[in-house]
């Protein structure tokens, strides 16, 4: 049974031919630095969130950097098998990833506690028999209030949707 993700729906709405060439025909794509970096950071933070939810001590920055290095190596191998990304670009991606992880450890890890990591949901697409939409989300606790996060491509930063009262801005 075919599935559509959020990003596939966006691609279809922006350029149906691009979606057809990529998904139906399997046309090769140039690697995306941002997607490779994002996938590696996401994998690393997903592992960290799962460990915290299982009652383990939150990972140190060094632990996260080691996990990130492994995740980045895998993401590069998967998304750039022809080695099109330059050495300076790869170095820049590593530096950006470490900066993101440092910000997470210093600013987010002490304040937020994950309560769900990559919970997924699937719904049937009305008017498209046999097709389903699938997506995932993560959930955190912020001072006792549940916070669900989502990202929107057209907006530069993640939006937070507060379930309950929004905390006072500091």
pLDDT in tens, 107-148: 888 887 788 777 777 888 788 888 877 777 776 666 454 444
- pLDDT tops 60 at residue 168: no
pLDDT, tens digit, for every residue of 18-28? 888 888 888 87
Q: Please answer whether residues 15 and 26 qualify as being in contact, where contact means their C-beta atoms are separated by less than 8 angstroms.
A: no
Sign of CA dihedral 23, 27, 28, 32: negative
pTM of the model: 0.63
pLDDT, tens digit, for every residue of 56-111? 999 999 999 999 999 999 999 998 888 888 999 999 999 999 999 999 999 888 88
Long-range contacts of the stretch 102-105 (C-beta < 8 A, 24+) = 102/61, 104/45, 104/64, 105/60, 105/61, 105/64
Rounded distance between C-alpha atoms, residue 123 and residue 146, angstroms: 23
Token digits for 35?
A: 């997607």
Residue 118: per-residue pLDDT = 73
Rounded distance between C-alpha atoms, residue 41 and residue 67, angstroms: 9
- pLDDT tops 50 at residue 163: no
């Amino acid at each position: 049974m075919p599935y559509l993700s959020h990003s596939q729906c966006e691609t279809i709405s922006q350029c149906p031919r691009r979606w057809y060439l990529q998904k139906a025909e399997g046309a090769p794509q140039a690697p995306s630095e941002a997607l490779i970096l994002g996938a590696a950071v996401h994998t690393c933070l997903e592992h960290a969130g799962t460990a915290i939810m299982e009652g383990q001590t939150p990972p140190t920055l060094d632990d996260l950097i080691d996990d990130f290095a492994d995740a980045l190596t895998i993401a590069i191998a998967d998304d750039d098998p022809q080695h099109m990304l330059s050495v300076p670009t790869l170095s820049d991606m590593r530096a950006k990833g470490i900066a993101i992880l440092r910000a997470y450890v210093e600013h987010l890890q002490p304040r937020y506690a994950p309560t769900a990591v990559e919970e997924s949901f699937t719904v049937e697409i009305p008017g498209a028999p046999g097709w389903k939409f699938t997506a995932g989300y993560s959930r955190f606790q912020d001072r006792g209030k549940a916070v669900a996060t989502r990202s929107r491509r057209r907006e530069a930063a993640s939006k937070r949707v507060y379930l309950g009262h929004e905390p006072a801005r500091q």
